[in-house]
Amino acid sequence: MADALSIESLAFRWPGQQHNTLSIDRLQLPAGSSLFVRGPSGSGKSTLLNLLAGVLVPTEGVIQVLDQPLSQQPGKQRDRFRADHIGYIFQQFNLLPYLSVIDNVMLPCRLSRRRHQKALSEAESLTAAAGDRLTRLNIPESLWLKRVSALSVGQQQRVAAARALMGLPELVIADEPTSALDQDNVDNFMDVLTGQCQALGSALVFVSHDRHLARWFDQELELDAPAPSRNEAVS
């Protein structure tokens, strides 16, 4: 089966900066497996996720996602690829507050015919597929038609995870999705998210500065402190 990710000689530098924000010699993530990315604030964790999702392109090197040379494709193709193959859980969830819970969860299938068809291959309707995800993430049916803004932060987080998993994306990307949760809820969320990715065969790339979360993952990548701090540490 295709690798979920493969990175060779990657460097990324924001315009106007003297140092690379990020450099990774080599990384390979088999299909369906999970990677924990950790590092201090400013080490480039969110930048890496944006590179993996094809929002940014590397300054040097190659990123392959599902054996596609994503980093070498034009912007429109990368946008299409992201909608079709990647479920993204944002730190602030990015749920649409004026839509209901279930409409939020169905959104990826409205933006991608491929994910729409995949959702329908495992359920009678999009609503049934979304309901299945929500049930697995412990969001009771009594909440499905409510506006998402009426839910607690922990509930919204699980709705964001349900949305990312709609239409069986091969890669799920999560940017510090546990930062607003207490420890009990973190454990529960991690159990459910990693369990769901395994059950659906989705690879998972998960960012956090909390090293205690590493135990849920197959592989770990630690990013260095930003370049000026590295210099301070040496002198």
Ligand X SMILES: Nc1ncnc2c1ncn2[C@@H]1O[C@H](COP(=O)(O)OP(=O)(O)OP(=O)(O)O)[C@@H](O)[C@H]1O
Q: Tell me which residue has tokens 């040097």.
A: 60
Q: Minimal CA–CA distance to 72: which of 81, 80, 84, 63?
A: 63
Please identify the residue of the shown chain whose CB is closest to the bound Mg ion.
Answer: 46
**Site stretch for ligand X (CB under 6 A), options 26-34, 45-53, 63-71, 139-147:** 45-53
CB of 37 to ligand X, least distance (A): 9
The binder of ligand X chosen from 23, 33, 43, 104 (CB under 6 A) = 43
The binder of ligand X chosen from 7, 24, 27, 45 (CB under 6 A) = 45
The residues facing 7 across adjacent strands are 27, 63
68 binds, among Mg ion, ligand X, none (CB under 5 to 8 A by kind): none
CA dihedral 47, 92, 117, 196 (to 10 degrees): 90
The binder of Mg ion chosen from 8, 30, 31, 46 (CB under 5 A) = 46
43 binds, among Mg ion, ligand X, none (CB under 5 to 8 A by kind): ligand X
CB of 20 to ligand X, least distance (A): 10
Q: Alpha carbon 11 to chain centroid distance?
A: 21
The residues facing 37 across adjacent strands are 207, 221
| Pair of tokens at residue 132 | 């299945």
Is 108 or 177 the residue whose CB approaches ligand X more closely?
A: 177
20 lies in the site for Mg ion, by CB under 5 A? no
CB of 184 to ligand X, least distance (A): 23
The binder of ligand X chosen from 46, 59, 100, 185 (CB under 6 A) = 46
| Pair of tokens at residue 78 | 């990368």
Q: Minimal CA–CA distance to 172: which of 133, 212, 202, 145?
A: 202
CB of 56 to ligand X, least distance (A): 9
| Pair of tokens at residue 117 | 């068809």
226 lies in the site for ligand X, by CB under 6 A? yes
Supply the DSSP string of 185-203, one letter for each residue.
HHHHHHHHHHHHHHHHT-E
Q: Tell me which residue has tokens 């912007």.
A: 75
20 lies in the site for ligand X, by CB under 6 A? no
Residues that bind ligand X (CB under 6 A): 14, 21, 39, 41-47, 209, 226
